[in-house]
Structure 1
């Protein structure tokens, strides 16, 4: 196992290259449906609650909204398109009366660097390869559990909401956008 797949060797506080999904409601069943669809689309290996222990050193936990609430996040391992295994996690941001729930799926930046993922020159926070991979996973998950919006990039959760977009992708995009229109998920890659 490389350090990219190790839980203990990640700089969790450095942030995640993530796919942040605005679920579109605050219904626990809708949140669970998106969680299940993404976990399946990403083919996540395992489900654990502790980032300070390797999976082999802890009991697996159920991949549920209740476990997310209990542990604050759920962790596993995924394979990048290159075949490299990396640590992977999800956390939830529960909305209130006026907003939607979010699920933030991501890979620690440290794991991506250890796996040799290319970032734009002079930038530790932009990777076209990571963007495309996460957008592809979102597209697969969307078929099983539609959602309101997806954002792709480094620590992008909450930087936009579906209600702000008036049904269209922004012309200039500093992060990737996944926006449904007529039942189809449209991807607007970074262009700014």
Structure 2
């Protein structure tokens, strides 16, 4: 799976979004390193300037701030390799770190994904493949949480951390700290 193949980056993104809390470059640096390690991401590349292709950079908060998106690849639980990326959003002095899996890459290794989320099989039927992916991403989040506690994790298609996912119909899975550790609420639609 090549990070340089533009077709891998099409179709939108399936994401693990970690709401880290107050902006803090030291915390962000620990979190991105823990996330890359927990997900088994190989490489840390950025798009080169002036069509120079992809360039290797050192993983960390400085690279996120300087380049916006960090690119790599990882192995899914099935063993299939896909490209992935990460970025940070700093809004109202709060850091949100995201790991994303492009649907263009995912569909190449799992045809059930089809044209998610835009086809007839994108509702509850898509949980046949999403549930396992969500659980795996939740397990990654739990590993990160042990090293860098966060306020909440949201998992799903182009999730927006600010949305309310507590209703009866949840298109995203969530992880929130509770008295007995992280509490996982799976997507159900």
Which position in structure 2 is the counterpart of 1:106?
Answer: 100
Other structure's SS at 1:70 match: helix
Gaps of 5+ in 1: none
Shift of 1:10: 3.1
Distance 2:187 2:44 in 1: 31
Corresponding residue for residue 154 of structure 1: 157
* Alpha-carbon distance, 1:117 to partner: 5.9
1:16 pairs with 2:20: no
TM-score, normalised to structure 2's length? 0.82
Post-superposition shift, 1:95?
2.1
- 1:174 is displaced (CA, Å) by 1.9
SS in 2 for 1:10: helix
Equivalent residue for 2:37, pick from 37, 40, 52: 40
Distance 2:75 2:185 in 1: 24
Q: Alpha-carbon deviation of 1:23?
A: 0.4
1:34 is paired with a residue whose SS is helix
Residues 86-101 of structure 1: pairs in structure 2 closer than 5 A:
86-97=82-93, 100-101=94-95
- Secondary structure of the residue aligned to 1:14 is coil
Aligned pairs, number: 177
Of 130, 134, 152, the residue aligned with 1:131 is 134
For 1:135 and 1:42, locate their aligned partners in 2 and report how far apart those are by CA, in whole Å: 11
Alignment pair present for 1:69 and 2:69: no
Deviations 1:64-85 (A, max 9, x none): 1111111110011100001011
Report the Cα offset of residue 170 of structure 1. Answer: 4.9
Q: What is the root-mean-square deviation of aligned Cα atoms in Å?
A: 2.5
Assess if the C-alpha contact under 8 Å between 2:48 and 2:54 holds in 1.
no
Tell me the TM-score normalised to structure 1 length. 0.81
Unpaired runs of 5+ residues, structure 2, are none
